[in-house]
Structure 1
Amino acid sequence: MDRRQFLVRSSLFAAGAALPFKSLFAEAKGTFTPLRRNVGCFTERGGTIGWLASKNGMVIIDTQYPKSAKKCLNGLQDRTEHPLDLLINTHHHGDHTSGNSVFEGVAEKMVAHKNVPKLMKQSNKENEGEGNTAFPTTTYADSWKMDVGDETVHAKYYGHGHTSGDSVIYFEKANVVHMGDLVFNRMNPYTDRPAGASMQNWVTILETVADEYPADAKYIFGHGKPEYGITGAKEDVLVMRNYLSGIIEYVQEGIEQGKSKDEITKIKSLNGFENFLYADFWTLPQNLAVAYEELTQS
């Protein structure tokens, strides 16, 4: 699947169409899960939403789609009467940003890495204007933070990974980290090379995050295999690192053995990761091709 096909499928989701890869975009319907100290996550349809709802602050991380975004906002307004201080997009993909319009004019700030509005506009152009037009208006280059009530929220950019605009969000007092799509928990991830993805640096990002945040931090993941879920610990971040490293190592060995791209990308499962979810939406061979192109600069 090329980038345009991905964008078309994203727009179909926004219109309510279903894909066979349901587990990537859906968890329990409209579920609020408290985690720590007024921070939790919300799952319905799309990338996992993170939230803070306290008597003196409200924050939302990612927005899924308009219908689920409204449900999330309504549910949080039942938890606190405080207005929405902050919306952060972890990256530009439609299953994380299509609900932005629900919060435009409601959130005091809409924040993302500086590349996110550019990538959203590029996606709209490639998708014939069908995409999201509610862009983050506050952007940052390396790191950003804001005090919200008695919590401090950090956004940090570690370089090209899943895209060229991925933020890691940290709720400092709660010790909760939202990884966006830098972690697909026990799943084969989509790697958006046209949007600047780097599989090699993605590995470095995961290693850095695992070292940088407290050992007992709780993590929210953009997507997850149902039996593993969309929250976890440092060990789960490192499993994702190991999977991507395994892809790179397999491809590098093939290149050194003189194998062609077709030969390298024909396998259906990766040794040691047979239980990862492979599906028609984005397959292991496609990620092997990404790694091949990256390693050979083709």
Structure 2
Amino acid sequence: MKSLFSLIALFFISLTFAQRFDNIKIETTKLSDHVYMLVGAGGNIGVSIGEDGVFVIDDQFAPLSEKILTAIKALSDKPLNFLVNTHWHGDHSGGNENMAEAGATIIAHDNVRVRMEKPRRDGSKNPKEALPIVTFNDKLNINVNGEPIAVFHVENAHTDGDAILYFTESNVLHTGDTYFKGRYPFIDLNSGGSVNGYIEAAKRGLMVIDNDTKIIPGHGAPSNKSEYKAFLEMLEEIKANISKAIAEGKTEEDVAKDGSLTKKYDDLDFGSGFINSERIRVTFYKSLKGK
């Protein structure tokens, strides 16, 4: 009887989860001759199309896979060949199993596979088909659809397995969640993320682009170098403010309550997203204190 109730509960949880995405539409934005950005629910998707087939970056949640694949089919009738996960979070890798079934070889940093092999909070595990088949440590070059794509790891930024991708001919950068446009970022300290690593990731991304680069952020609308640079300045300013508070002996509770530390960016609505102003102050405090 207990097992029956568990199955019923799981059924209704799965049904509710799927219904969350019923009204989501996949929107497509063309960034270059053959590189596109897809927006739905979760992390932004990058798509390259051409004679070699379809190359995809991230895949959001599993219930959206059919809609995502339909949007891709509207761009190209070529086969789906490769999928790169920028990191392990479910809003970027939740559709992996479906994408693998559709023909994609999944690529990610070594630590992405390590984390995806671990049991979830409910004790369940990702199926083997959802795991990256090809993993890399530092950097990787992929030549597809007439251009080299530089894939490079940025250490301990959003997580410990982040990848940034640069389309060298199309001049498009996909940052994964190392960049949240116009809002405070989620720095996942429990997955190896850190403030200092996050700042270094933004600096590294800025090094490879120019004023004409189109940027696909992890979340938010398409961006550019000046907005990306302003995002880095925000990170550095908040780091300086909270480092000063720590040096003055302020506690985590003090920092959490002190809105003056982030006021400049609160006033610009940076705290209106998933991470509010109090949460970003606490994240910076914990990371900078080494907690």
Residues 13/183 of structure 1: CA separation in 2 closer, same or farther (3 Å cut): farther
- How many equivalent residue pairs? 275
In 2, the alpha carbon distance for the partners of 1:294 and 1:13 equals 37
Partner Cα distance (1:68, 1:277) in 2 = 27
Task: Give the one of 110, 120, 124 matched to 1:125.
Answer: 120
Cα deviation digits, residues 120-159 of structure 1 (max 9, x gap): 233x433421667501110000111111131222211121
C-alpha distance in structure 2 between counterparts of 1:243 and 1:132, whole Å: 39
* Larger CA deviation: 112-121 vs 132-141: 132-141
* TM-score computed with the length of structure 1 as normaliser: 0.84
Q: Give the AA of the match of 1:242.
A: E
Task: Provide the residue aligned with 1:214 in structure 2.
Answer: 210
Pick one of 24, 29, 44 that aligns with 1:33. 29
Distance of 2:154 and 2:186 partners within structure 1:
18
Q: Residues 188 and 120 of structure 1: is their aligned pair in 2 closer, same or farther, counting only changes over 3 Å? A: same
Residue matched to 1:288: 281
Residue 14 (structure 1) shift: 8.6
Confirm or deny: 8 A CA contact 2:82 2:106 kept in the other structure: yes
Write out per-residue CA displacement over residues 82-121 of structure 1, whole angstroms, 9 at most, x where no aligned residue: 2112100011111111111111143342101111011223
Determine the structure 1 residue equivalent to 2:46.
50
Which deviates the most, 202-211 or 89-98?
202-211
Rounded to whole Å, the distance in 2 between the matches of 1:196 and 1:14 is 31
In the alignment, structure 1 segments of 5+ residues that lack a partner are 1-10, 19-24, 225-229
Secondary structure class of the residue paired with 1:85: strand
Contact 1:55–1:81 (8 Å) recurs in 2: no
Secondary structure of the equivalent of 1:201? Answer: helix
Matched, 1:238 2:229: yes
| Percentage identity across paired residues of the two chains | 26
Contact 1:52–1:60 (CA<8 Å) still a contact in 2?
Answer: yes
8 Å Cα contact 2:109/2:162 also seen in 1: yes
- 2:37 partner SS: strand
Closer, same or farther: CA 185–132 of 1 in aligned 2, 3 Å: farther
Rg comparison, structure with higher value: 2
The one of the two structures with greater contact order (alpha-carbon pairs below 8 A, sep at least 6) is 1
Greater shift, 42-51 or 130-139, is seen at 130-139
Mark the CA change 1:280 to 1:177 in structure 2 (over 3 Å): closer, same or farther: closer
Q: 2:257 matched to 1:255?
A: no
Instruction: Check whether the contact 1:188–1:276 (CA below 8 A) recurs between aligned residues.
Output: no
Compared with structure 1, are the counterparts of its residues 63 and 292 closer, same or farther at alpha carbon in structure 2 (3 Å cutoff)?
A: same
By how many angstroms is 1:281 displaced?
4.3
| Unmatched segments (≥5 aa) in structure 2 | 1-12
TM-score of the two chains, using structure 2 as the length reference = 0.86
**One-letter code of the match for 1:129?**
S
Of 137, 143, 152, the match for 1:156? 152
The change in CA–CA distance for 1:200 and 1:68 in structure 2 (over 3 A counts) is same
* 1:267 and 2:269 are equivalent in the alignment: no
Q: Which amino acid aligns with 1:291?
A: F
Give distance in 2, aligned partners of 1:118 and 1:293.
24
Q: Is the 8 A contact 1:47 1:95 kept in 2?
A: yes
Query: Structure 2 vs 1, CA of residues 28 and 41 (structure 1 numbering), >3 Å: closer, same or farther?
Result: farther
Give the conservation status (yes or no) of the 8 Å contact 2:65–2:98. Answer: yes
The reply to whether residue 98 of structure 1 matches residue 89 of structure 2 is no
**CA–CA separation in structure 2 for the residues paired with 1:281 and 1:233:** 22
Deviations 1:265-293 (A, max 9, x none): 11346132122342584332222222222
Q: CA separation of 1:14/1:143 partners in 2, compared to 1, >3 Å: closer, same or farther? A: farther
